[in-house]
Amino acid sequence: MLRRRCEGTAMGAIALDLRPGIGIGPFSLGMPICEAFAQIEQQPNIYDVVHVKYFDEEPLKLDIVISFPDHGFHLRFDPWSQRLRLIEIFDVKRLQMRYSTSLIGGQSTLATFVAVYALFGPTYPGIFDKDRGIYTLFYPGLSFAFPIPSQFTDCCHDGGVELPLEFPDGTTPVTCRVSIYDSSSGKKVGVGSLMDKASAPPLPAGSIYMEEVQVKLGEELYFTVGSQHIPFGASPQDVWTELGRPCGIHQKQVDQMVIHSASDLRPRTTLCGDYFYNYFTRGLDILFDGQTHKIKKFVLHTNYPGHADFNSYIKCNFVIYGSDSVGGSFQEVNNSIQRVITPKTKWEQVKEILGDCGRAAIQTQGSASNPFGSTLVYGYQNIAFEALLVTVDLSLLFEISQAWLWKFRSNRLRLHGYRINNQFFIIIIVTIVQLCNKSYILDSCYVI
């Protein structure tokens, strides 16, 4: 893996614009994780050591974190929506924050209690966490945490208290953590349990991000925000009319796959037969028959970290209705009691709804340099699920190889987990089923 320098050898603190309740530098609260990666790619000289962290055993339990250890801050993304909910500066000496025309933080301008008060002005008394010895001062969309030496904890009391600007010995506390969060909910966000109160700001009206996509097996997809129906057998013109221009066209060939520009309105079917329309911003691929030019397959992507396609697609928020719900309008289906499959569904529940499909087929990713390993495809009537084999409690520490840099939009990203026996694994995180000592996790769904 290429690096401009080793981790921990930063030449000095960078300065980023601080926007309380909005973001810091190029990172804005509510942005999808793919947009954060795009910002990292655009400034490789600054963000050249990046860690991506996630919880492999409970993928929807803990945040997906993009961390910049050399700059002392990280981005916390909600694991379900994959939108930025919280920005934390955990080493204030490594990062300078620019607010208005003033700087705070870094080695030269310590973020002391006095400096914070002078820059941001007075505010309501903060909260003292006596268990952690942390006093948190709150502003709209912004909080500062100050460690209180044990000999001065009597200056603070339970509940909301005002901390003196200086301790009896003349010293002033220095910020140990800064949190930037959406203030529209009125919640106070800080360290410990207060961190969990942060949430991504509401999406604007009409946004198709994480739009619910309802699937009726063997029939159609229904997009709930725009009320578009895309049935099997639809033509490319129908899809363009309903969903707009595809992000790309992916054409199969016997020996290789070629990515064509979406501006080419006529798929080159003489070479490859079937072809895909790629809607990366919807987490969706649509496969057309090369002879009839009719839809024959939909591919829905979950975009969980650890899979080869991570960060190539926005997560598709699909709702798949079981075979007992086929028939009738979507309104009739929604009004009835049905069991459905979503990206949150556990594999045991999938089998309860669809039954046991037997042994899986093995699918390789087509490259010896692929660090993610083969996947398993479980086929049912009208639908198939792709899963990656994982050994639970094994861990991972992996640095992305040069051949896979394009997948993550940066040649300096590192995925983190754990390590065992000097063997390295990339673990896909979706829905898990226990089989002896191994687990199978749901990745993409193929509606066929």
- 10-residue mean pLDDT profile of the chain (448 residues): values are 46 85 97 95 92 82 93 96 96 94 91 91 86 90 90 63 67 91 85 82 93 91 95 96 95 48 47 85 92 92 81 91 52 56 82 82 60 71 74 30 33 33 26 33 63
19-47 pLDDT, tens per residue?
A: 999 999 999 999 999 999 999 999 999 99
Residue count of the chain, please give it.
448
Could you tell me which residues come within 8 angstroms of residue 153 by beta carbon, excluding any fewer than 6 positions away?
Answer: 128, 130, 133
d(CA 127, CA 48): 36
Nearest to 161 by CA among 124, 191, 117: 124
DSSP 203: P
Host H or E run for residue 260: strand 257-260
CB 95 within 8 A of CB 14: yes
The SS3 of residue 239 is helix
* Residue 373, pLDDT score: 60
* Residue 7, pLDDT score: 53
d(CA 208, CA 204): 9
CB 15 within 8 A of CB 98: yes
Q: Is the pTM here over 0.75, yes or no?
A: yes
143-183 pLDDT, tens per residue?
A: 999 998 877 776 665 545 566 667 777 778 899 999 999 98
Rounded-to-5 percentages of helix, strand, coil across the chain: 15, 35, 50
Backbone angles phi, psi at 280, to 5 degrees: -60, -35
**Which 3-state string (H, E, C) describes 113-182?**
HHHHHHHHCCCCCEEEECCCCEEEEEECCEEEEEECCHHHHHHCCCCEECCCCCCCCCCCCECCEEEEEC
Q: Where are the domains of the chain?
A: 14-197, 212-397+421-447
Nearest to 35 by CA among 246, 280, 243, 211: 280
* Residue 395, pLDDT score: 26
Nearest to 355 by CA among 386, 379, 330: 379
